[in-house]
Amino acid sequence: MKIAVCIKQVVTREWQLRVADSGTWIRDSDASFELNEPDAYALEEALRLKEKHSGEVVVCSAGPARAAQVIREALARGADRAIHVESDALATADAFSVATALADAIRDEKFDLVLTGLQSDDQGFGQVGVVLAEKLGMPHATIIMEVQAGDGGLRVKRELEGGWFQWVSLPLPALLTIQSGINQLRYATLKGIMAAKKKEIRKVSYAGAADQMQQIVGVHVPQKAKQTQLISGSSTDAAKQLVAKLRDEARAI
Give, for all 253 residues of the chain, the pLDDT tens digit: 999 999 999 999 888 888 888 888 888 878 889 999 999 999 999 999 999 999 999 999 999 999 999 999 999 999 999 999 999 888 888 999 999 999 999 999 999 999 999 999 988 889 999 999 999 999 999 999 999 998 889 999 999 998 899 999 999 999 999 999 999 999 999 999 999 999 999 999 887 755 678 888 888 888 877 778 888 889 999 899 999 988 888 788 8
pLDDT of residue 222: 80
Domain assignments of the chain as residue spans, ordered by start:
2-211, 225-253
The tens digit of pLDDT for each residue in 78-90 reads 999 999 999 988 8
- Measured torsion, CA atoms of residues 206, 175, 199, 11, in degrees rounded to the nearest 10: 70
Name the pTM for this structure: 0.84
pLDDT of residue 30: 81
Q: Tell which residue, 97, 82, 75, has the closest CA to residue 4.
A: 82
Task: Please spell the DSSP secondary structure of the chain, one letter per residue.
Answer: -EEEEE--EEE-TTS---B-TTSSSB--TT--EEE-HHHHHHHHHHHHHHHHH--EEEEEEEE-GGGHHHHHHHHHHT--EEEEEE-GGGGS--HHHHHHHHHHHHGGG--SEEEEESS-SSS----HHHHHHHHHT--EEEEEEEEEEETTEEEEEEE-GGG-EEEEEEESSEEEEEPTTSSPPP---HHHHHHHTTS-EEEEE---GGG---------PPPP--------S-HHHHHHHHHHHHHHTS---
pLDDT of residue 85: 96
Residues 31 and 11: their CA atoms lie apart, in Å, by 7
pLDDT of residue 226: 75
Architecture of domain 2-211: 3-Layer(aba) Sandwich (3.40)
Q: Tell which residue, 215, 218, 130, 204, has the closest CA to residue 174.
A: 130
- Which residues have C-beta within 8 Å of that of residue 194, sequence separation ≥ 6? none
